[in-house]
Amino acid sequence: MLNSSLKVGDTQREIETVLGNIGFGWRYTDFLKRYNTTIRDEAHCGAYQAISVYIFLDEARRLVKIEVLDSYTMP
């Protein structure tokens, strides 16, 4: 969804519009110039899986890259 909705160079306003439509409780850290969320919903990932998504901005607050990381836990 993010790859089809966002592209490198998008403004912070464009990013926030897309994130608002997606949901998942995104947080922005100004020091890191990064949005992040962790998805633990079984409808979107496994029972013992979490997906962390990071959206990095540059100094002009434009999209630089998106990272998606999987993590797994034991029951």
Nearest alpha carbon to residue 12 among 62, 73, 65, 55: 62
Q: How many domains does the chain have?
A: 1
Nearest alpha carbon to residue 7 among 59, 58, 62, 54: 62
In the predicted structure, residue 43 carries a pLDDT above the cut 80? no
- 48-55 contacts, C-beta under 8 A, 24 or more apart: 48/72, 48/73, 48/74, 48/75, 49/73, 53/2, 53/24, 55/2, 55/6, 55/15, 55/19
The string of pLDDT tens digits covering residues 3-30 is 889 999 999 999 999 999 988 899 999 9
The string of pLDDT tens digits covering residues 25-37 is 999 999 999 999 9
- State which residues form the domain around 22: 2-72
